Amino acid sequence: MEDQSPKPIRCKAAVSRAAGEPLVIEEIVVDPPKAYEIRIKIICTSLCHTDITFWQAKVAPVFPRIFGHEAYGVVESVGEHVEGFAAGDAVVPTLLGQCDHCTSCVSEHNNLCAAVPVTLAPGMRRDGTTRFRDAQGNPLHDFLAVSSFSEYTVVDVNQVVKVDPAVPPKLACLLSCGAGTGKTFGVTDFVNPSQLDKSSVCEAIVEMTGGGVDCSFECVGVPSVMTDAFRSTKPGNGKTIVLGLGNETDQLCVSALELLFGKCVMGSALGGIKPKTDIPILAAKCMSRELELDGLVTHEVGLGEINTAFDLLLQGKSLRCIIWMDK
Same domain, 175 and 223: no
Same domain, 44 and 75: yes
Same domain, 37 and 174: yes
| Structure confidence by residue, pLDDT tens digits, 28-66 | 999 999 999 999 999 999 999 999 999 999 888 999 999
Judge whether residue 182 has pLDDT over 60. Answer: no
Mean pLDDT over each residue of the chain, to the nearest integer: 93
CATH of the domain at 251: 3.40.50.720
**Cα gap 82→33, rounded to integer Å:** 10
Same domain, 194 and 302: no
| Structure confidence by residue, pLDDT tens digits, 87-98 | 999 999 999 999
Segments of the chain assigned E as strands: 9-15, 24-30, 37-46, 70-78, 90-93, 132-134, 139-140, 152-156, 160-162, 215-218, 239-242, 264-267, 297-302, 320-324
Please give the share of the chain, as a percent, with pLDDT higher than 70: 97
Residues 6+ apart with CB under 8 A from 131: 30, 31, 33, 34, 37, 124, 142, 153, 154
Band (pLDDT 50/70/90 cuts) for residue 245 is confident
| Inside any domain, residue 116 | yes
CATH of the domain at 51: 3.90.180.10
Same domain, 174 and 191: no
Indicate the number of domains in the chain: 2
Same domain, 15 and 133: yes
Same domain, 171 and 200: no
| Structure confidence by residue, pLDDT tens digits, 184-231 | 556 788 888 888 887 899 999 999 999 999 999 998 889 999 999 999
Same domain, 211 and 165: no
| Inside any domain, residue 106 | yes
| Inside any domain, residue 284 | no
| Inside any domain, residue 278 | no
Q: Give me the domain span that covers residue 162.
A: 9-179+293-324
> Does the global pTM surpass 0.85?
yes
Same domain, 35 and 117: yes
- Give the three-state DSSP class for 141: strand
| Structure confidence by residue, pLDDT tens digits, 280-302 | 999 999 999 998 899 899 999 99
Specify burial of residue 203 (Cβ count, 10 A radius: 0-12, 13-18, 19+): middle
Amino acid 221: pLDDT: 87
Same domain, 15 and 91: yes
Amino acid 93: pLDDT: 98
Same domain, 115 and 227: no
| Inside any domain, residue 83 | yes
How many other β-carbons are positioned within 10 Å of the β-carbon of residue 186?
5
Same domain, 89 and 202: no
